[in-house]
Amino acid sequence: MSTTAVESGTQTAGQTPLLAVDGVTLQYKTRDHLVTATYRVSFDVFPADRFVLLGPSGCGKSTLLKGVGGFMKPVEDLVTREGAVIESPGPDRMMVFQEFDQLMPWKTVLANVMFPMRVSRAFPRNEILDRAMAAIEKVGLTKFRDIHPHMLSGGMKQRVAIARAMAMEPDILLMDEPYAALDALTRRQMQEELLQLWEDTRFAVLFVTHSIEEAIIIGSRILVLSPHPGRVKAELNAHQFTHTEQGSTEFMALNRRIHNMLFAERIEAEALQRESDHA
């Protein structure tokens, strides 16, 4: 338990965390191994946080997000949301996945956005259509609302997924490398749009990425994880950076700092990997 210290920084004193991850160890089984994905990871997400989980592949960041989402149970200690232990997936924690097939191909864009609102019964029936329309408007897809997802480009599909999640007004939005499968130009545009959406509605988002740049641009706070198993390497502030500062010295300095943290880890990990291969 060395990394629970919350720097005061931008947080207003006395605010309680929206989500508390406290010494969480997550394990999953493959066909012949029990893999420890994260080991005693702790962090707090506050309202309006843009909290980024950053790390190389194999650091358990996606697994951690699944733990928060309630898709898997930690073997050690708890993930809590406002004091209640998270045990199963629920619409208060909407998830946006990396894969494009998260949209239901048998539903139009509009029906896709309406679907979680309908089945979770979180909103009165007569409000659902208006809410869905508003969410689609926000991501700029009003023209495409009666189209089936297979006609949309990758970026548009991710926009629909974001609109679908936002329409539910979740306490916290979980995003699992949502832009990793997009081309660079679209990705940048999507990042800007997400920040604009955040400006408008100030939701809390837990964002997983393996790109340092994306972490600095999207995040207000970055949790750097080391691989095999994932442990907290650092928790950094990045709320001052957006696309406009991308070339600035401070931006580059933070980028280099994180890079060195991860790179040192990677050399270590590769050496270990070589050893175990030889063994």
Partner 1 sequence: MPEARSKLLPPLRPEVENTSLESGQIGEVQRPLSAWERLVNLDWVRRVAILVILALAWELYGRYLDNPLMVPTFSNMVAALWDATVHGPLLDRIYTSIRVLLIGYVSGVGLAAVFTALAVSTRIGTDLLSTLTAMFNPLPAIALLPLALLWFGLGVPSLVFVIIHSVLWAVALNTHSGFLSVSETMRMAGQNYGLRGVRFVVHVLMPAAFPAILAGLKIGWAFAWRTLIAAELVFGVSSRSGGLGWFIFENRNQLETAYVFAGLTAVIIIGLLVESVIFRNIEIRTVRKWGMQH
Binding site for partner 1 (CB under 8 A): 66, 69, 71, 88-91, 93-95, 97, 99, 101-102, 104-106, 115-116, 119-120, 148-151
- Give the shortest CB-159-to-partner 1 separation in angstroms: 16
Nearer to partner 1, 46 or 100 (CB): 100
Are 110 and 145 in contact, with CB atoms under 8 Å apart?
yes
Q: Which amino acid is at 262?
A: L
CB of 120 to partner 1, least distance (A): 5
Contact indicator for 68, 86 with CB cutoff of 8 Å: yes
What is the nearest approach in angstroms of partner 1 to the Cβ of residue 106?
A: 5
The rounded distance, in Å, linking the Cα atoms of 260 and 249 is 16
Question: How many of the other CB atoms lie within 10 Å of CB of 92?
Answer: 16
Give the type of residue at 48.
A
CB of 189 to partner 1, least distance (A): 23
Say which residue the tokens 């939005």 belong to.
173
Closest CA to 174 of 71, 250, 267, 84: 71
Closer by beta carbon to partner 1, 85 or else 253: 85
- Residue closer to partner 1 (CB basis): 148 or 188: 148
Q: How far is the CB of 153 from partner 1 (least distance, A)?
A: 13
Which is nearer to partner 1, 6 or 35 (by Cβ)?
Answer: 35
Nearer CB in complex with partner 1: 164/210: 164
Length of the chain: 279
Residue 70: which of 1, 157, 170, 2 has the closest Cα?
A: 170
